[in-house]
Structure 1
Amino acid sequence: MDTPFPPFEPNGPNQEARGPRLREIPVRLIIPNLITVLAICAGLTGIRLAFENRIELAVGMVLLAAFLDGIDGRVARLLKATSKFGGQMDSLADIVNFGVAPALVLYVYVLDQARSFGWIAALIYVIAAGLRLARFNVMAERDVKAAWQASYFVGVPAPAGAMLVLLPVYLGLLGVAPDRLVAFIASGYTVLIGFLLVSRLPVWSGKSEGSRVRRDLVLPLMLAVVLYVATLMSFTWETMAVTAVGYLLTLPFGARSWQKKYGDWPGVPARPDDSISPEGE
């Protein structure tokens, strides 16, 4: 039966060349896209809650959006449901959840007291997040990638940037009054995070080392995760503030590790012996 809606073609309209088109598609192909849509809904709801001055719930929704946006790709790979449609949806969700939503929540909470300076800071962060995501997509599409891309990001990744830029809100929820002075300081901090997003700073990703764990470290690692989650549930804003500050403190160590391994700054053309194929990642 025909409907007024176009058919869902996850990998584009050229699938006739592979064989007859099926009338139905597996549900597993839809699940990652539903997670992405829920992430967008959470991010936009966080903006609404911020305008209603329900800041705690607003930050919670933004963090939920970041979490959902971070797992949709992994769910797609787990279900073998990756598609071009899902990739485009994920890119659009990223700019909302990692750029627009945290910037507006921060602006409503404290940056508005800095007037135009606060708004300019929010704009800079959102544009920086968009540029960061665009650069990541371009680098991910390269046929031949530098060996260091398996272990390092170029610049702070957008999900981490969203977590970092909300640090003034965490501190405010812990009792720091969001007055005019704090607004100007927060504006400068927001611009700093924006520059970290688009910088060439090598940031350790944890991808290569995270795939395997030594047997004697499995139980301590599980206990550490349980302790972190329990602390996050009991002392949410203290834990988020410590996490953000701790992440910032690790950035120089990641850059120093890069210098010891590769010497050159990220972004220079890869030498032939520094390249790997996408299958090697």
Structure 2
Amino acid sequence: MAKAVAVHAVYLEDSTMIHEFNLKRIGPDGLETGHAGIRESFSPRKAVDEILYSANVAGGNRIKILRLLAHGDAGEFNFPGLKGRSSIAREYGGLRGAFAPLARIEIHGCGCASEKDLRTVRDPQTQRKVEVGQYTGDPKGRGLLFLYAVARTFNVPVTGGVDSQGPWDGWSYSGVTVTISPAGKFYAEKPGQRWWDPSSADEEAGREFRRIQKQYIDKKLYVEARIALRVLMATYPTSKEARDAERLVPLGGLEALDKPPPGMATKFE
């Protein structure tokens, strides 16, 4: 029976990508998923054929979500025939008839939507070095121009990340993403705003809870802590941290942390 499916097309350029391809994980949407391993020797036409075969388009299936994985940077994506806005192979237009209604493409490559090359900074919470990009909404930004060229070629909306990405557990995104339609309409979304990416919301909720704990709870600034916890509950309502916040917000909840009852930790990890 024909159905709408997902396809995960991974450029097998190094051991990291090969490992991810071999895991053959489905996305958070739970759709039946085809897995296409794209080799360095593949032409764009061969890559298109591999994607069509993985989706079983010949059997009547249609692609609801096409996820593409390769390394990247601002306006760049190291995928055969999709390396930059001026070098997108016209052969990919052959996939237009394979998409289901309301289909989309997710480009999972570091910084593809960034306006400038990624730069290394130190995360203030974890003190680990991370690579971040830049997005100001400039319609002439390198990342947005690239995504627009991809959207016009495939004739479906395309999403890419601004910052570095990975690991790709559950095919989630880290940080801000940018989506653009073939008509040129674009918007940015933070973690927690992407209803289709619940893992990113959970990760961001954890970061926010740790910030609140360090900045307010540990210093016994309970009024400020309750305000921040209510915002967290509203922003990330399905997260574990929202449930923890719900226990702490009522009068006495935070104060009880000074003398916790047996079995109750003083910190939430």
Q: Which has the higher helix share?
A: 1
Q: Which has the higher strand share?
A: 2
TM range (shorter): under 0.3
TM-score by length of 2: 0.24
